[in-house]
Amino acid sequence: MSEEEIIGKLCEAVVACDMNAVVKAAKEAIEKGVDPVKAIENGLSKGARIIGDKFERLEIFLPELLIAADAMKAGLDLLLAKIPKDKTLKKGTVVCGTVKGDIHEIGKKIVAALLRANGFEVYDLGADVPTSKFIEEAGKVGADIIGLSALMSSTLAAQKDVIDYLKAVGERERYIVMVGGGPTTQEWASQIGADGYATTAPEAVKLALKMTKKMRR
Amino acid sequence: MVTFLEVMEKALSGKPCSERDYTLKIFAAKLKEIVKEHDIEYNPDVLVPSDNGLADDIFNAAFDFFVEVGGYCKDTERIIKFEEDEVKQGLRTAPSKVVFGDGQDSRTLIPRKPEDKSPPWCFLGAGGGPVSSEETFLSLVEGYASIPEANSITTPALTSVNGLRIRPRSPLEALGAIRNAVLAREAMKRAGRPGLPIMNTLATAESATSLAIALHPKHGLRTTDGYMIAIMDPMVVDFDRFNKVFAVLSLNAPVGACFDPLMGGYSGGPEGTAVANVAYHFLATLVYQASWHLPFPLHIKYVCSSTPELLWVISTSGQAISRNTHLLSLNLNYTAAGPLTKMCLYETAASVMAAVVSGLSIEALGVATNKYEDRMTPMEPKFSAEVAHAVAGMKRKEANQIVKDLLAKYMDKIADPPLGKKYQECFDIKSGKPSDKYVEIYSKVKEELKDLGVKFQH
């Protein structure tokens, strides 16, 4: 099987949401000496972008998106191990979660899956995350972005608490803070001093790409 | 009827399962399978079907699905399952009427059937939408209570108290919840309808603790109010919500369950969402002992209930419930567009029609996806209630054509809807009167609906 065929298989397996097929193709790529960077960019990531677009058009639904994201991650773990440490492919590192007091996760899970599909390393802390946990985890993994989700108007203020806490401990400038979720608006994001806000998950990905690129300049 | 203690026992001893496995491998996978097995298909040309067989297929699919899948308890990480007989008995013994409100404002919520001539219950207001100040809250609720068709009120949610932004599970949340109750009662008194029931509990009481604190009778809540408690998507409950249920049941007050299966989410497409929407009613009846239900299926991308798929979901799941049970179910609709726009009124008219002719009552409404502060007025629920009363008794076939005609007026704008204006820009907040411009828009849309065949009572 040629390099192109193996890469094509990786892409197809992600689009088919088939974890076993992704792992099999990734192992095959490694065995056949396919350049892991090419395998990731033209195989896994391409497949993930196709899945993201399909979800955006609602040709597939949330379960398929989440399963495809898992499949991609399984392949990524195998292929990344073959790339020299000094050669980084990732677009950035994101720590995200739903703020304290709020247990709603669906929107945040979609954003996390699409960020992964677009080359970000994502640490999803789940829901009802204590304020300091975001900061502790971001420090531990060297995050570029802290993503804060809230669905209820009564839990929205916990987004402000994370930003205020960052300021209080002198770490605000270290991270890009993005906010989102049901009642969040651009007005609110500006008011609490967030760096970014997006209405939809694909917009959040675009914004994350733009802001991490700007940060690296 | 399964008791609350038996539910707790099931939550503690059910099959252990991670939430991820429940949502993806059990809920989503089984739902997809059941939809296929029952051959349920969405038809974009018939958004309000007259096909009783389709409604019954959806009901049967939901029954099979629920018995197979059950619900999920987040705290115990176990599946709460019920036997077929338990579900049947639960549906048989669920209340077929509930009396809400006091004195002259006391009314009985009864079940309806498709094409039923009886007026739907009109649960009107803000659907818990956020407001910036107590003054706005008071003025809005007074406006809602002044709508003649209002049977009960859904208040907005205060986002701050005395200038301090409310924090979840903090005393500020409890204080906000108390103030919510006190202000709502005051506003209803001002409107001359002190006995009207509040049926969205307290929009600011997200935690059980805040609800329990605000439940003290001196804050104005009554056992004749409705107490709405959420089930999370997909059919997930937790101890905090159980605590709310227990607090309300201990007062012998009516628990209402609200749930929003997302079209495009774990339920998949319109077919799965319709089936899940019905199954949620079963879960609510058994797990929360809900005596009334508040489904509000939404589009995952547009967060509204006025897309063609959602109108079909409202109608088919509504018919499934109203034809096969006596459960008391009210559909809550969200619009994409905001106040002072024709689109908002078209959208709410379409959703309300789909619900009412299918045998449901209504809660109206969440305006502009219910996310923007102060972006709601009494005009949208008033118009929704007028449409609801006008279409009671209308044939589904006729409603289908009108809904499609309405949809044609706004569908191309749904991805980028006009957000309109804030309450303060549409109404004189002191007199509670709408601006001339809003009256003009309302009158024009009403005329358009009359031309389409809607016979308004006034």
* Average pLDDT of the residues of chain B: 96
Indicate the fold that domain B98-452 takes in CATH: TIM Barrel (3.20.20)
**pLDDT tens-digit readout, B152-184:** 999 999 999 998 999 888 999 999 999 999 999
Chain A residues near residue B265 by CB distance under 8 angstroms: 61-62, 106
Reported confidence tier of residue A86, pLDDT bands at 50, 70, 90: low
Same domain, A107 and A63: no
DSSP A115-165: HHHTTEEEEE--SSB-HHHHHHHHHHHT-SEEEEE--STTTTHHHHHHHHH
Say yes or no: A8 contacts chain B, CB-CB below 8 A: no
Predicted pLDDT of residue B378: 98
Q: Which residue is it, tokens 């549906």?
A: B91
Chain B: residue whose CA lies nearest to A65: B265
Same domain, A104 and A169: yes
What average pLDDT does the segment A117-129 reach? Answer: 91
- Residues in CB range of A166: below 8 A, 6 or more apart: A135, A146, A172, A174, A175, A177
Closest CA to B42 of B271, B298, B272, B311: B271
Across the interface, whether the CB atoms of B265 and A62 are under 8 A apart is answered: yes
CATH number for the domain that contains residue A142: 3.40.50.280
Reported confidence tier of residue B201, pLDDT bands at 50, 70, 90: confident
Same domain, A128 and A210: yes
Phi then psi dihedrals of residue B34, to 5 deg: -65, -40
Read off the pTM: 0.94
Across the interface, whether the CB atoms of A101 and B28 are under 8 A apart is answered: no
**pLDDT tens-digit readout, B397-430:** 999 999 999 999 999 999 999 999 999 999 999 8
Residue A193 lies in a domain: yes
Predicted pLDDT of residue A83: 82
Residue A201 lies in a domain: yes
- Residue at which a domain ends, from A23, A51, A80: A80
Percent of chain A's residues with pLDDT above 70 = 97
Largest CA distance in chain A: 57
Say yes or no: B74 contacts chain A, CB-CB below 8 A: yes
Same domain, A175 and A111: yes
Same domain, A68 and A107: no
8-state DSSP, B128: T
Largest CA distance in chain B: 61
**pLDDT tens-digit readout, A168-217:** 999 999 999 999 998 899 999 999 999 999 988 889 999 999 999 887 76
Across the interface, whether the CB atoms of A61 and B265 are under 8 A apart is answered: yes
Predicted pLDDT of residue A26: 96
Q: Which residue is it, tokens 């292929």?
A: A79
Same domain, A74 and A98: no
Same domain, A106 and A196: yes
Say yes or no: B173 contacts chain A, CB-CB below 8 A: yes
What distance in Å separates residue A19's CA from the closest CA in chain B? 14
Same domain, A61 and A132: no
Domain ranges of chain B: 98-452
> Residue A35's domain spans which residues?
3-80
Chain A residues near residue B204 by CB distance under 8 angstroms: 154
**pLDDT tens-digit readout, B21-31:** 999 999 999 99
Across the interface, whether the CB atoms of B232 and A66 are under 8 A apart is answered: no
Residue A85 lies in a domain: no
Closest CA to B104 of B140, B151, B139: B151
Count of A-B CB contacts under 8 Å: 83
Give the C-alpha separation, B184 to B141, whole Å: 6
Q: Where are the beta strands (DSSP E) in B77-184?
A: 78-80, 98-100, 107-109, 122-125, 130-131, 152-154, 157-158, 160-161, 164-165
Predicted pLDDT of residue A117: 83
- Residues in CB range of B236: below 8 A, 6 or more apart: B19, B22, B23, B71, B72, B73, B74
Q: Which two tokens stand for residue A123?
A: 């640490």
Closest CA to B31 of B278, B322, B258, B232: B278
Across the interface, whether the CB atoms of A158 and B176 are under 8 A apart is answered: no
What average pLDDT does the segment B53-65 reach? Answer: 98
How many C-alpha atoms does B268 have within 13 Å on its Cβ side? 21
Reported confidence tier of residue A37, pLDDT bands at 50, 70, 90: confident
Give the C-alpha separation, B243 to B264, whole Å: 30
- Residues in CB range of B51: below 8 A, 6 or more apart: none
Say yes or no: B232 contacts chain A, CB-CB below 8 A: yes
Residue A117 lies in a domain: yes
**pLDDT tens-digit readout, B99-151:** 999 999 999 999 999 999 999 999 999 998 999 999 999 999 999 999 999 99
To probe the interface with B, which of A51, A55, A61 has the most B CB atoms within 10 Å? A61
Same domain, A103 and A55: no
Predicted pLDDT of residue B283: 98
Q: Which residue has the higher pLDDT, A90 or B86?
A: B86
- Determine how many CB atoms are found less than 10 A away from the CB of residue A128: 21
Reported confidence tier of residue A118, pLDDT bands at 50, 70, 90: confident
Reported confidence tier of residue B204, pLDDT bands at 50, 70, 90: confident
DSSP B141-152: HHHHHT-TT-SE
- Residues in CB range of A120: below 8 A, 6 or more apart: A90, A91, A92, A93, A94, A145, A208
CATH number for the domain that contains residue A48: 1.10.1240.10
Chain A residues near residue B264 by CB distance under 8 angstroms: 58, 61-62
Same domain, A147 and A201: yes
Residue A87 lies in a domain: no
**pLDDT tens-digit readout, B318-354:** 999 999 999 999 999 999 999 999 999 999 999 999 9
Q: Which residue is it, tokens 């009494």?
A: B378
Q: Quick check: ipTM above 0.90?
A: yes
- The number of folded domains in chain A is 2
Same domain, A24 and A98: no
What distance in Å separates residue B456's CA from the closest CA in chain A? 35
